[in-house]
Amino acid sequence: MVVIRKSETGRIPEWGVYIFPVLTVIFAILYLADENLYRSLIMEDSSIEWLTFAFLIAAGFLSLTVAVKIKRSHDYLHWFFILFFGFNLLAGLEEISWGQRVFEVETIGVFHKYSDQNEMNLHNTFQGLVHIKTKHIALLVLFFYGSILPWLMRNRDLRQEKFPLQQFIIPPVFLRLGFTLGAILMLDFQTGYEEELGEFFFSICFFIMMLWNLELFKHGYFHTDNYSSISKRSPSLSE
């Protein structure tokens, strides 16, 4: 039997709970005190956008680290962490339009024709083609994934399910507030640029989520003995 208590994973759950309301208060105070500075921080190519990029890339490589450690220690591929690495890498590069403005690349071809912001990235081109805002899709998907699903699955151990469901990783419950606030910010109140803050919050959630799973690995959570289809044994896990 493998028993993992929150106290064994350091301070990740504690600061994972408090960081989001603290950031929300900071940005609210900044908006009230100096709206021009607030706007300059959250617009395109701002420091918030680059911080989002940094957290996404960091989350991606943390995810790859977990996948490599599982493979080396337990000799199986954990598909979620491999795919999550790819997702974060793609999301990070999309966030900065693949470095277009850094390298001063002109928007051409299909991107110039369909991108609703005249940028060379997939999500704005998709918006121009189908006239559906990708931020609304992201809002709904990530709200369900990070805010609703952890509560629905709180008493269920997916490792005892059939593959590939058993390798599906659900965010820890303590990140529900971060995902919820991120989804609310994606609605773009007050200035129309709060989407950047929502993406920032989501990127922090992904980063903390991978730190959490790295700690779980250190405490044996991904050992083959804990998976019904990898090992004949099916011990219980208390979290």
Output the tens digit of pLDDT for each of the chain's 239 residues.
Answer: 344 555 556 789 888 999 999 999 999 999 999 999 999 999 988 999 999 999 999 999 999 999 999 999 999 999 999 999 999 999 999 888 767 676 556 765 656 555 656 666 666 666 666 667 888 899 999 999 999 999 999 888 888 888 778 899 999 999 999 999 999 999 998 898 899 999 999 999 999 999 999 999 999 999 988 887 765 433 333 33
Please classify residue 225 by burial: count the beta carbons closer than 10 Å to its beta carbon, then call 0-12 exposed, 13-18 middle and 19+ buried.
middle
Q: Is 203:84 a contact under the CB 8 Å cutoff?
A: no
Quick check: is 2 in a domain? no
Q: Is 122:150 a contact under the CB 8 Å cutoff?
A: no
Q: What per-residue confidence (pLDDT) applies to 40?
A: 94
Q: Is 60:88 a contact under the CB 8 Å cutoff?
A: yes
Q: How far apart are CA 146 and CA 151, in angstroms?
A: 9
- Split into its structural domains, the chain has a count of 1
Quick check: is 71 in a domain? yes
Q: What per-residue confidence (pLDDT) applies to 189?
A: 86
How many other β-carbons are positioned within 10 Å of the β-carbon of residue 203? 25
Q: Which two tokens mark 30?
A: 């900044």
Q: What per-residue confidence (pLDDT) applies to 208?
A: 97
C-alpha torsion sign, points 113, 118, 121, 124 = negative
Q: Is 47:78 a contact under the CB 8 Å cutoff?
A: no
Quick check: is 136 in a domain? yes
Q: How far apart are CA 10 and CA 219, in angstroms?
A: 12
Structural domain containing residue 207 = 9-232
Quick check: is 1 in a domain? no
Task: Say whether the peptide bond before residue 117 is cis (omega within 30 degrees of 0).
Answer: no
Confidence (pTM): 0.87
